[in-house]
A and B are shown apart, each in its own frame.
Chain A
Amino acid sequence: MIRKVVYSIFLAIIVLSLVLFFAAFPFGKNKMTVGKYYIDHGVQQTGAANIVTSVVLDYRGFDTLGEVSVLFAAAAGVGVLLHMIGERRERKVKVPPNFVVRVGSRIVFPFILLFGVYIFVHGHLTPGGGFQGGSIIASGFLLLYLAYPNYKLKRGGLAAIEGLAGLTFVTLGLYGLLTPKVSFLYNFLPMGVFNTLVSAGILPIIYVAIGFKVASEFAGIIDDMICDVMCRGGEK
């Protein structure tokens, strides 16, 4: 009985404080001033036609570096966890993929690759960017894994691409510390002509690096999941 009274008192305190907390916010009005600042000044300051990109790579570039690191840690975790289970075996499929899947994937794959590359190269002009383009490219490799049972990516090449792309991002960021305006990821290249492919300084270079990095990481995860998981204990 006493316990219930204590519980209800605590519950009342929590509800009251939450209500008071949320009542302090104005409802239905624009609370953020920083968003308006980005919309007003983003184009002149960064030179990117896509304001989302100017926020993601320029104003909040350091957060993006953290995001890429988190993705790298996740991919590495999947790899380590699956390699601990045991040795790899040949991949066996119960029903081989039929003719339409094999030929269709061979026709569609280059276009998926081209679309992904287009999305991350034009990340500062049109919607999209490194993360979206990279995951589209990885889904193209997924199609190849589904269509050809003995298809295998070279993991050494993937690791090299991933490392080089990450190194490019960090080196560009560190070079900003050497410029007169000492700040990490400072946009030191000229802005160029607005709304053309070569504009916005270092933003397109960083997005290409992120695209390669994300694509190789996701392709590595797919390779780990399909080859390691399906090969072990596949005789169920």
Chain B
Amino acid sequence: MIYVAWVLIIFMIALSILAIELKNLIAAVVAMGAVSLIISVLFLLLQAPDVAMAEASIGAALTMIIYVIGVRQTERREE
């Protein structure tokens, strides 16, 4: 179980760096949503299912769509 958590944490750090570094902002938003999803799996591994559900539905779905709407109204690519 602990190895699964390590793999997930390494993925999470890589995706967080991608979310900052990517020039295509829609891709950056998707990377950020994936970070939220991995955090919710980690919460489940830490036996906190209540927090995991809140993180999966709010962090990965609702926050992401608000960012997508924001990106659509401004520039899609970062200079």
Contact = CB atoms under 8 A, between A and B. Distances in A.
Interface of A: 50, 52, 119, 127-129, 131-132, 135-136, 138-139, 142, 218, 221-222, 225-226, 229-230, 233, 236
27 contacts: A50-B50, A52-B50, A119-B53, A127-B49, A127-B50, A127-B53, A128-B49, A128-B50, A128-B53, A132-B50, A132-B54, A132-B57, A135-B54, A135-B57, A135-B58, A135-B61, A139-B57, A139-B62, A142-B62, A221-B66, A225-B66, A229-B69, A229-B70, A229-B73, A230-B72, A230-B73, A233-B73
A136 B40 CA distance: 15
B40 to A, nearest CB: 11
A138 to B, nearest CB: 7
B65 interface: yes
A141 B50 CA distance: 22
Given A139-B62, A218-B62, A222-B62, A230 B53 contact: no
A94 B53 CA distance: 34
A52 B65 CA distance: 29
Contact of A139 (B49, B50, B61, B69): B61
Interface of B: 49-50, 53-54, 57-58, 61-62, 65-66, 69-70, 72-73
Nearest to A78: B66
Contacts of B61: 135, 139, 142
A79 to B, nearest CB: 14
Contacts of B57: 132, 135-136, 139
Nearest to B53: A132
A236 B73 contact: yes
A142 B66 CA distance: 11
Which 10 residue pairs are nearest across A and B when measured between Cβ atoms?
A: A127-B49, A132-B53, A135-B57, A139-B61, A52-B50, A127-B50, A135-B58, A136-B57, A132-B54, A225-B69
A140 B65 CA distance: 13
A12 B69 CA distance: 47
Contacts of B72: 230
A229 B50 CA distance: 32
A50 B48 CA distance: 12
Nearest to A123: B50
A91 to B, nearest CB: 12
Nearest to B49: A127
A52 B58 CA distance: 19
Given A127-B50, A225-B69, 9 more contacts: A50-B50, A132-B54, A135-B54, A135-B61, A139-B57, A142-B61, A142-B62, A225-B65, A226-B69
B38 to A, nearest CB: 18
Given A132-B57, A136-B57, A142 B50 contact: no
Contacts of A230: 69, 72-73
Nearest to A51: B50
Given A135-B58, A142-B65, A222-B65, A129 B73 contact: no
